[in-house]
Amino acid sequence: MKKIGIIFGGRSGEHSISLMSAASVIRAINKDKFQIVKIGITKEGKWLLYDGDADHVEDGTWQEEAEKALKENPDKYNITILGAGGKSIKELIDFALPILHGPYGEDGTVQGLLEMADIPYGGCGITGSAIAMDKLIAREIFMRAGIPVCKHIAVFKEELDNDFQKTIEKIEENLPYPVFVKPANMGSSVGITKAKSNEELKHALKEAMKYDRRLIIEEYINCRELETAVVGNFYAEAAAVGEILPSAEFYDYEAKYFDGGKSKICIPADIPQKTADEIREIAVKAYKLIDCAGFSRVDFFLEKETNKIYLNEINTIPGFTKFSMFPLLWEEAGVSCPDIIERIVELGYERYHAKDNR
């Protein structure tokens, strides 16, 4: 039986979301086919082997238990990914499934470590992960391929430090209010503000700069938010299209995770078949373009007045809880959560072995 290492937690602000996703994956995975090895990363970046319950992964108490186990039995629990000083992860697992959201996990860093350690893994490789995480670079690539994205400009911290006023003027000359201000590399709406005035823009820039020195400023699209779930390597396919109905003015951090279920998901989205097909087609095209693999969720805006479709972003490790769009979209397409996880493992092996033939 293959030993699958589920990697969860991580250094990003989305640590706790990763715990929820990983607990769902641990519960759903087919235990007749796979043996689970749980590997948690603390917020400080320490890797810990954990052999307790999925519930404790979810509620965060895994860390204390794993640290205690390590202290009591270092021979068994001291693990290392590269180098000496512990049991190497390559000996512990056959395959890794990183269920990490945001920087230091969804951005190619952990994927790079796994490549170095020669461990096959699920999901996108380094390139796809890094590009998808970078909203500025991803947009440039999509635009070149004729994929519709909303109007935006790049702003760097150095420009703001040198001449704050001039940079504000540059933004105002290019985009009308309201604008969306975002860190180029983040997720879960962290650091994102909708700015409706000069005053709010100044505030929004300072907020976004806490998270990244590269910012993206976008025109506001009065839109419906549609998402589809892609699975595959070169031959990829998209599941159904779903709609997010945020409880707040936009789908911010609170609305995503802490509004007590007031934000709604509608599957399939109530849109014409032609629009759904177009979204699925663009999703697969964008996925291949930036070298995604395994699985990703691709998010769109559908402008209300014009019905124009814009690609917003690709999430290479989307939320994977019972209530998350990604597994629910596949369920709608007739593929169960355990089956989709198994497919992700197969695709990871396919990519790993493809390298042998280069």
Ligand X SMILES: Nc1ncnc2c1ncn2[C@@H]1O[C@H](COP(=O)(O)OP(=O)(O)O)[C@@H](O)[C@H]1O
Q: Which residues bind ligand X (CB under 6 A)?
A: 150, 180, 182, 186-189, 192, 218, 220-221, 223, 225, 246, 250-251, 299, 312-313
**Least separation in angstroms between CB 252 and ligand X:** 7
> Least distance (Å) from ligand X to the CB of residue 43?
19
Place of tokens 């909708």: 194
| Shorter beta-carbon distance to ligand X: residue 303 or 339 | 303
Nearer of residues 194 and 343 to ligand X, judged by Cβ: 194
Tokens read off for 109: 């860093």
The least distance separating ligand X from the CB of residue 199, rounded to whole angstroms, comes to 20
Which DSSP helix (H) or strand (E) runs through 326? helix 325-332
From residue 326, alpha-carbon distances to 3, 157, 168, 321, 322 in Å are 24, 34, 38, 9, 9
Structure tokens at 233: 């390597």
Provide, rounded to whole angstroms, the least separation between the CB of residue 246 and ligand X. Answer: 6
Residue 145 CA to its chain's centroid (Å):
22
Q: What three-state secondary structure class fits 22?
A: helix
| Structural contact between residues 302 and 244, judged by C-beta atoms closer than 8 angstroms | no
* Closer to ligand X by Cβ: residue 156 or 220: 220
Beta carbons within 8 Å of 353's beta carbon, 6+ residues apart: none
Give 212 or 313: the residue with its C-beta nearer to ligand X. 313
197 contact partners, CB below 8 Å, separation of at least 6: 177
| Kind plus residue range of the DSSP H or E element containing 194 | strand 193-195
| Minimum separation from the CB atom of position 193 to ligand X (A) | 9
Least distance between ligand X and beta carbon 179 (Å): 8
Q: Nearer Cβ to ligand X, position 92 or 154?
A: 154
Q: 77 vs 320, which CB is nearer to ligand X? A: 320
Using Cβ positions, the residue closest to ligand X within the complex turns out to be 251
Question: Among all chains, which residue has been given the structure tokens 């109530």?
Answer: 270
Which is closer to ligand X, CB of 186 or CB of 293? 186
Q: Which helix (H) or strand (E) holds 233?
A: none
Whole-angstrom Cα distance, residue 265 to residue 292?
A: 25
Query: Please, what is the minimum distance in Å from the beta carbon of residue 239 to ligand X?
Result: 19
Non-local CB neighbours of 201 within 8 Å, separated by 6+ positions: 168, 171, 172, 177, 179, 181, 195
